């Protein structure tokens, strides 16, 4: 089964937040804001913009030729907005958990039902992961001698547990603040 196209959803989210963006503007967003947690290159963005025009998700807002280059600006269409909303409402699972940050980035309202749904799902997923990691720690490292024999593994597992504890704590605080 082919992997779903994620980049169009990100571009749609950007155009929903900032209408009338050029390809260069979109590229700059990936180098700054979104680049903190999702990457896309020039060679990915421009072909995707062409596909999105064909799909009817975006349209050319303005086009002009400067002395140095042709500048095309894009806007999201109604079909594109509908596609973006459908993507935001797709359930988060263990398999697509990496998309959570992207989806959160495009939610505007602290009291959004979509936000609460994503956060609740994240709490559930990460609580299960934390439980699994704690069980593994108990199975593998219940005695000091076991820790001494595989100290590096112990460190990595401990770090993973602390990361998940922090993540669950943050998710629960954020969920409480969104009500």
**C-alpha separations of 167 from 49, 110, 171 in Å:** 34, 19, 6
Among 79, 105, 131, the domain boundary falls at 105
Does residue 1 fall inside a structural domain?
Answer: no
Q: Indicate the pTM of the whole model.
A: 0.85
For the chain, how many helices (H) and strands (E)? 8, 3
How far, rounded to the nearest angstrom, does the alpha carbon of residue 119 sit from its chain's CA centroid?
13
Does residue 2 fall inside a structural domain?
Answer: no
Supply 133's token pair.
């990691």
Among 70, 89, 105, the domain boundary falls at 105
How confident is the model over 128-163, as pLDDT tens digits? 999 999 999 999 999 999 999 999 999 999 999 999
Ranges assigned E (strand) in 77-119: none
């Amino acid at each position: 089964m082919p992997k779903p196209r994620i980049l169009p959803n990100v571009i749609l989210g950007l155009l929903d937040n900032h209408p009338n963006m050029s390809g260069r503007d979109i590229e700059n967003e990936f180098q700054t804001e979104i680049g903190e947690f999702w990457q896309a290159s020039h060679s990915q963005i421009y072909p995707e913009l062409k596909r999105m025009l064909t799909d009817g998700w975006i349209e050319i807002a303005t086009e002009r030729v400067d002395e140095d280059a042709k500048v095309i600006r894009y806007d999201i269409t109604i079909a594109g907005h509908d596609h973006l909303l459908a993507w935001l409402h797709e359930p988060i699972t263990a398999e697509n958990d990496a998309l959570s940050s992207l989806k959160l980035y495009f939610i505007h309202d602290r009291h959004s039902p979509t936000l609460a749904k994503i956060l609740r799902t994240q709490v559930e997923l990460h609580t299960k992961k934390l439980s699994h990691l704690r069980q593994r720690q108990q199975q593998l490292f219940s005695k000091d001698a076991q820790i001494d024999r595989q100290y590096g593994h112990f460190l990595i597992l401990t770090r993973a547990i602390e990361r998940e504890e922090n993540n669950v704590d943050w998710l629960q605080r954020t969920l409480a603040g969104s009500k």
